[in-house]
Every structure is written in C-alpha cells, then in structure tokens.
Amino acid sequence: MNILAFESSCDETAVAIIDADGNMLANQVSTQIDFHARFGGVVPEIASRKHVEVIVSVVDAALEDAAASLGLEGGAIAPSELAAVGVTQGPGLVGALVVGVAFAKGFAYAAGKPLGRVAAKVAAVVRGKNKASYTPNQAMGDFVIVINADKVVVSGNKASDMLYRHYTGYVGGLREYSFEKLIERNPIEPLSRTIAGMLPNGRLGRKMMDSVKIYAGSDYPHKAQNPKPLEV
C-alpha cells in the first residue's frame, strides 16, 4: 500500500510517497526561496502561481523515484498502484493550499473511485439533485444500478479502522465489522449503508433507497430497461 502526499502550504511544492511500513519511496521538493528573497518575504499570490507551474513535474518526478525505489521497470509507478492520496489542508497560505488540495482531489479522482465518491453521486441522482425541478421533500430522482460493488475502495486505514455496527435486538447483541470484513461477508452492504446514510431519514429515505439496485459483480437483470452509464 503506497500513499502519495502533497504539501503546498507556503512557498515549497513537495510531494512524497511512502509505503505501508512508513518507508520513504520518494520525496521531491521544489522551493521558491530564492525567488521570494528579493521581496524580503513570501508573496502569497506569487507563491500560488509558482505551485501551479511546477506541481505536475514534481509529481512526475516523485512517481519515477518511487518506481526506482521499488525496483520497477517502466519509468514511473501508475496512479492505480497508490492506495491513498493525502494533502495539507491547513494551516498555510490560502491560495497555495487551494492549489495543492485541488490537484490532490483531481489526482485521486482520476486514479480510482473511492466508496464515498460513488455513494455521494448515487445519492444525488436518487434524490433528483441533478434536475432543475429538485425538491428536497419529494422522491423525484432516477433509478440507479450500481455494479461491481465488491470493488469499491476506501482511503488510508479505513478498511480496518472503519466499523459498521449491527444490533440483533437481544442482550449483548451488538455486532461490529470492519469495512474489509463486511465487504467479504456481504459485498453490497458497505455501499448500501453509505448511500442510505446520505439520504433523508424515515419513509422518504426508504422510498429513495428502493430506487437503488446494487450488485457485487458486473451482471445485472435490468438490461431490458436500457440503463445509461453514469459518470462518477
């Protein structure tokens, strides 16, 4: 499990990659110290522009260094080989932080589809938020079919640390399962619970949830309805 981390809170654009044991596979830093020296201090607007100019090349260099550290051929590790993306969100210069956060979010989105992002998109469509006529207290969304639910991922240590609880209704009946255990027992349950948690409580939420069909694999029995792909 390799983690890519961004730091852009001030006048240095830094990208690091570490493995599951905390070993540093890559550490690339582009500094602006010499450029700001003429002003006697860091100029926030200039710092932001400099981050934009160099962040892509810094990431590319870090991916190449990580591949070399791992002894891999091909020049650079692929984004798909990263388990998570981290980024400094504060404190720091607002403009500089925005560059790092925006780039990190875009990189994470392009590299995979985390559980939360899929659930948020499904919940929005089921509620009808993608329509101009959206009304919060009405079930006016579309039906959504989710396939390959067994392939959703979570970031960081959430696979082992995030717990799902279930009460049997009997004394001592509390059951706890981590994400990795629950998806092994029931592949659709983590995604189903996450989507349900983003919908209104009560009867309205249950009615909306009836519009969501989730399947662990790629097969589904709704091909006759000619469903259209939904970009996540």
The confidence score (pLDDT) of residue 231 equals 67
The confidence score (pLDDT) of residue 146 equals 92
Residues 90 and 133 in one domain: no
**Quick one: which of 63, 64, 62, 36 has its CA closest to 49?**
36
The confidence score (pLDDT) of residue 80 equals 67
Buried b (16+ CB within 10 A) or exposed e, 201-216: eeeebeebeebbebbb
Number of domains comprising the chain: 2
The confidence score (pLDDT) of residue 206 equals 93
Domain range enclosing 18:
2-111
Among the three residues 111, 129, 153, which one is the final residue of a domain in this structure?
Answer: 111
Residues 138 and 73 in one domain: no
The confidence score (pLDDT) of residue 94 equals 92
Q: Is there a domain that residue 27 lies in? A: yes
What is the pTM for the complete model shown? 0.52
Q: Is there a domain that residue 232 lies in? A: no
pLDDT more than 70, % of the chain: 94
pLDDT one-digit tens code per residue, 147-204: 988 888 777 777 888 888 888 888 888 888 898 899 999 999 999 999 998 898 889 9
Q: What is the mean pLDDT of residues 2-21?
A: 90
pLDDT one-digit tens code per residue, 40-96: 999 999 999 999 999 999 998 999 999 888 887 767 887 767 777 889 988 999 999
Asked if residue 112 has pLDDT above 60, the reply is no
Which CATH number does the domain housing residue 153 bear?
Answer: 3.90.1180.10
What strands, in cross-sheet order, belong to the sheet with 24-31? 24-31, 12-18, 2-7, 82-87
Asked if residue 117 has pLDDT above 80, the reply is no
